[in-house]
Amino acid sequence: MSTNNYIPREPLVIDCNIEKTLHVIGGKWAFLVLRELFGGTRRFGELQRLIPAVSPRALTSTLRHLEEQGVLERHVFPTVPVTVQYSLTPKGEDLHQMIKEMKLWAAKWT
């Protein structure tokens, strides 16, 4: 009879601010959504037209994630049909400089 001496260990958790930032920013479409919102408040349909490759489902998911992270605010107006607008919070506005620097890096190196 063989004995197994393997003891599972807890995964190593690294408290990394860059990793935290990437989690807040979110997935594939977040940078494009942020880029459009840096220009001001947008409606859902406007964002869809400005980012034609994103599906409505992916856009909704991205907007919800950014809202949960406190990066943008969703404003609902009681019109028929309902009007929904998205705008950046101060936390979201703070991302602008970082993303501009990433754009400059990409222009230089890619």
Distance, CA of 3 to CA of 96 (rounded, Å):
57
Distance, CA of 9 to CA of 2 (rounded, Å):
21
Distance, CA of 8 to CA of 89 (rounded, Å):
43
pLDDT score, position 37: 98
pLDDT score, position 84: 95
pLDDT score, position 104: 94
pLDDT score, position 20: 85
Stretches in the chain below the pLDDT threshold 50: none
Q: Where are the domains of the chain?
A: 17-109
pTM of the model: 0.81
The closest alpha carbon to 54, from 67, 45, 42, belongs to 45
pLDDT score, position 3: 57
Q: What is the CATH T-level fold of the domain 17-109, as seen in this structure?
A: Arc Repressor Mutant, subunit A (1.10.10)
All residues at 6 or more sequence positions from 98 whose CB lies less than 8 Å from its CB, including other chains: 21
